[in-house]
A and B are shown apart, each in its own frame.
Chain A
Amino acid sequence: MAQPRTTTRGLEPREAHEARIGSGAHVRGRIRGEGSLVIEGHVEGDLAIRGDLTIAEGASVKSEAVEAHAVTIAGALDGDVVATGPVRLAPGAQVSGNLRGSAVAIDDGARFAGRLDCDFDLPPELGGASRAPQGEARARVAARR
């Protein structure tokens, strides 16, 4: 269906619902969109979409940053995720990058290396709010002894 090699810059899905980058496609460039996106092929470049992002099994994305609402990864991602919704790594996922979202879940079997930055407070016995960058660094230094 898709051509084996497609180089596209500034791809913008126009429909409000799902856009798809098929398994044979290679995209290099920035992707922006209002809707959701399913990536089954290979993307190199930043993504910023309003809707949900799915990186399917077998797909790969290499990016500085991937921005979306909910993010589900079953394939490979080399890049940071900044999500306004939940982030989930399925068992076959291979992700190298930092994750930020309303919630982050990593299924058993997923491969991951990177930072997680959920927004929450520890109980007061453990120092309570340590959200400020310096507070966090201090807390981690203290925890590491």
Chain B
Amino acid sequence: MTRAKIEGALLGAFAAFLLAVPWLVPAIADRFWVSVITEILIWSLFAASVNLLFGYVGLLSFGQALFFGCGMYGVAIGIAKLGLGFWPALGLGVACSAAMALVAGVFAVRLTWHYFAIITVVFSLIFYFLALTLRQLTGGDDGTSFALPVTFRLGAMELSLADKTFQYFFILVIVSSCFFVMRRLTASPLGRALAAIRENDTRAALIGLNVYMLRLAAFVISGVLAGISGALFAFFGRYASATYMFYQVSGEAVVWTIVGGAGTLLGPLIGTSLFIVMREVVSTRWEHHGLIVGVVAILVVIFAPSGIVGLWREMVERFVHRP
């Protein structure tokens, strides 16, 4: 009985659960929770983008909402203003966030530590305000909605996200693919080089790693992940709004990541699930769930900085190695 075996079994059970959600969940709770779980998947991808930079490379970005917004608006503007179909709009969203991440990263990655965090916020604020002023294009704070184009067309049969079950599986496939890619990445030579930079960037440079380039690569990958989550969000809600580019959105994702467990693959998913479920459960009775988020954030940082996954691992190790 090792930790790896226990976690493997749990993962399997979890995967089975995820596959059964559209039928299992309405049977034991309200159908509305399928939408919530779909939303959790989207936001956990966003948190994963924060996690990639912070947990694996050691860069704390407080401005991932910028790339989320690029993905979101790429889709929204692509469909509403450019008349694009589903896939071109998705492509536009991802391409925009990749381009933005490259341009922003070229500058941001030259800084480290506090200054890096600050400049990521500054960049995201600049574009937040731009999105506010370009109301014609973006709908500003109020947002803009659009009609959902069809996803797949096979002869007479159409598949679109309007079908909640198809929407769930579509998003599940994309999000899990991204998580799978992240898993491969962290175990790859590139992943190891990034870990080295995180641990000791001076040493990393001394052994021949181009720290700047590698950080930039990680920044762009992370930006693309955030962009994908933004694009999915736009499709999910058929809606885009500048409020989602504000730094508080980035900040919440950081909290979800750290509470879940930074530097672990599923930490972001666990943290995001916890907070969104809590929000849904609490907000029907009490509208100040933000208070709970704040308190939990502080408690975790003081008492359990390695997050839920970190605590879990400690517990399991102690259990597995009990005398």
A and B held together in a complex: no
Chain A residues within CB distance 8 Å of chain B: none
Chain B residues within CB distance 8 Å of chain A: none
